[in-house]
Amino acid sequence: MRPWGIWLAGMILAALAAGCSSEPSPDQAAAAPARPATAAPAAASAPSARMIPAVLTVEHEVDVLAEHDGEIVELTADEGSKAEPGGTLARLDDRQVEAALEQARADLKVAEFNVKFNEAELHANQARLQRAQQMYKEGLGSKADLDTAEFMEKGSTYDLESWKANVEKHHAEVKSLEIELQKTRVRAPFSGVVTRRYVRQGDVVTKGTKCFRLSQLSPLLVEFQVPETEARKPAVDQALRGTLLSDPNKSFDARITRVGPVVDAASGSYDVTAALVNPAAELKPGMAVRIVWPGSAASRP
């Protein structure tokens, strides 16, 4: 064989030997760990908080209505005024009711005097009847006299019962007019602060007209909804934190006081009420806030 042929055959044999030596042995292949299909590991889901919009409110806030027709002749409260339960906020013209009440009281007195008169008359007729019965028994009186005495006694009894019923009737009239007189006063149903005045002195109102809005200032509450899909369910006495919508740097603490017993079908959420804990003086009913609902890695969007 020629020298260059010998050199070419040697090069081919060397290449084949190098290719065979690069494959791992069976033992080496079993010992080597399998590499994952993806180079980057899956990122762990981090807990996140949900911001739930809400509004600060109070348990009692109502529009106080007029209970009687009439002209407002006096305003005793204005916006910002404090009110006690039963306190007068405004007074309507009550002259007509007062006149009717005076007449009813006078009629009641007349009825009471007639009761006393008929009691005396009945007592006299009862005595007259006893004498007529005795005289008829002794043969000194006629049957006609006895019948007349019995008629007078029965008549006096019926008259007395009639006037007693009249007294009860006039008592009821007086009581009814006293209630009507009370209705000419616009009164506060609970202690609070007048937040709005709808009427002015001289206005003529009818029964049911809005006159004032009365609101408690405490305890401050916040009502919101928690989606049923949240992994962390609301529970009574659970502590929360909230922030003002106008200034997220201002926060407050609250504690859940009520959780709706069912899930609202329309929104798929729990109705939740929480009471603020030692709220700052700047917090007022009606302010827009956000409740920081604690997130969970298991929460679903």
Look at residue 259 and tell me whether its pLDDT is greater than 70: yes
Angle between helices 143-183 and 95-138 (to 10 degrees): 160
**Confidence band for 107, pLDDT divided at 50, 70 and 90:** very high
Lowest pLDDT segment from 94-98, 139-143, 154-158, 261-265 = 139-143
Look at residue 43 and tell me whether its pLDDT is greater than 50: no
Of residues 37 and 47, more confidently modeled = 47
Q: For position 53, what pLDDT does the model report?
A: 93
What is the C-alpha radius of gyration for the chain, rounded to an integer number of angstroms? 47
- Whether this prediction's pTM lies above 0.85 is answered by no
Look at residue 39 and tell me whether its pLDDT is greater than 50: no
Look at residue 5 and tell me whether its pLDDT is greater than 80: no
Q: For position 139, what pLDDT does the model report?
A: 84
Q: For position 40, what pLDDT does the model report?
A: 45
**Confidence band for 47, pLDDT divided at 50, 70 and 90:** low
Look at residue 16 and tell me whether its pLDDT is greater than 60: no
Per residue in 203-231, pLDDT tens? 999 999 999 999 988 889 999 999 988 88
For the residues 265-275, what does the mean pLDDT come to?
Answer: 91
Go through the chain and tell me how many residues it has.
Answer: 301
Look at residue 276 and tell me whether its pLDDT is greater than 60: yes
Q: For position 48, what pLDDT does the model report?
A: 67
The amino acid at 221? L
Per residue in 135-186, pLDDT tens? 888 888 888 888 888 999 999 999 999 999 999 999 999 999 999 999 999 9
For the residues 112-138, what does the mean pLDDT come to?
Answer: 90
Q: For position 147, what pLDDT does the model report?
A: 87
For the residues 76-90, what does the mean pLDDT come to?
Answer: 94
82, 248 Cβ separation under 8 angstroms = no
For the residues 118-126, what does the mean pLDDT come to?
Answer: 91
For the residues 92-114, what does the mean pLDDT come to?
Answer: 95
Q: For position 136, what pLDDT does the model report?
A: 83
Q: For position 170, what pLDDT does the model report?
A: 95
Look at residue 34 and tell me whether its pLDDT is greater than 60: no
- Percent of the residues in the chain that have a pLDDT greater than 70, as a whole number: 82
